[in-house]
Amino acid sequence: MSSNLLTVGLAQISPVWLDKEKTIEKILTTIEDAAKQGCELVIFGEALLPGYPFWLALTGGAEWNTKINKELHAHYANNSIQIEAGELDEICKLCAQKNSAVYLGIIERAKDRGGHSLYCSLVYINHEGKIKSVHRKLQPTYDERLTWAQGDGNGLQVHSLKKFVVGGLNCWENWMPLSRTALYGLGENLHIAVWPGSENNTKDITRFIARESRSYVISVSSLMTHKDFPKDTPYLDKILENAPTILANGGSCIAGPDGEWIIEPVLNKEGLIIKTIDFNRVLEERQNFDPAGHYSRPDVTKLVVNRERQRIIDIKD
């Protein structure tokens, strides 16, 4: 296939909620299926591994010092991912075997921050099976702050993939103009936006970013319904008591560099959404507008980005 063309797979799937082993199995199966259909990049939704913290809005998540919130948080932490412990190794190995790159939303229990706090992270694994960036969500949104910590700028990075330069952000980070600008300035022309799952999130911002950046924008969302809660979930009865039947209805979609739909938001359908995109469309649309190039004024406005990985200690032995 021409280096101008890239076949992408949007993995609109549900997790096996808060069960990291079974969710990893589902991710591996999806990558296998995508490879069989010629996908060179496979994208999964925000926090898919092991799942979005839906309980916060359903069980009085802001109540102070309650047993239910502490026990659910501990269950979440136990099913979150420590990259340093090799918990993504199977996925990396499969990427190398299938010559596939992957963007994967995880909940990371970051060892370099002590190993107890949780970060909503977007991991990029290249086609050689190497983890090239781990972007920890800069600002968890509203009730997410009750279980996720703030990330840093280390993951504001882009990656070459054939002729494309790909970068990504988590959920409402996509509304942060300076975070988007950081990626534009690094040459991004294929923007990945991952979401927990709702067309209310994807239907406007996907086309907006595409038109602003003159890039392809791929939004990938997860699904979540009552049936996706394992029966052994702590406090399941309490969670389901207040939960709608559908908690996340998808909304995965693709907008082209002109801001028009290539694939409109897909709702309530589990599986791969596959499309081949053409790099030349980026060059066509950059002719009249390029936010980091000929239509920028760095002599007037300029962004400073701190990509240092933040840690509480700096050890000097």
Question: Is-contact 175 165, C-beta < 8 A?
Answer: no
Q: What percent of the chain has pLDDT over 70?
A: 100
Report which of 131, 191, 255 is spatially closest to residue 121, judged by C-alpha positions.
131
Per-residue pLDDT, 2: 84
Chain segment 172-202, per-residue pLDDT in tens: 999 999 999 999 999 999 999 999 999 999 9
Catalytic residue among 87, 137, 253, 285: 137
The conformation of residue 97, written as its DSSP 8-state character, comes to H
132 is catalytic: no
Q: What class is the 5-286 domain? A: alpha beta
Per-residue pLDDT for 1 more than 80? Answer: no
The conformation of residue 154, written as its DSSP 8-state character, comes to G
Catalytic residue among 171, 188, 199, 212: 171
As a whole number of angstroms, the distance between CA 287 and CA 292 comes to 13
- Domains of the chain, residue spans: 5-286
163 is catalytic: no
137 is catalytic: yes
This prediction has a pTM of: 0.96
Which ranges in the chain belong to alpha helices (H)? 20-36, 67-78, 89-98, 177-185, 199-213, 236-242, 280-286
Report which of 258, 255, 252 is spatially closest to residue 30, judged by C-alpha positions.
252
Please compute the mean of the pLDDT values over residues 216-228 and round it to a whole number.
Answer: 96
Chain segment 30-73, per-residue pLDDT in tens: 999 999 999 999 999 999 999 999 999 999 888 988 999 999 99
As a whole number of angstroms, the distance between CA 231 and CA 134 comes to 31
Catalytic residue among 40, 46, 188, 199: 46
Per-residue pLDDT for 293 more than 90? Answer: yes
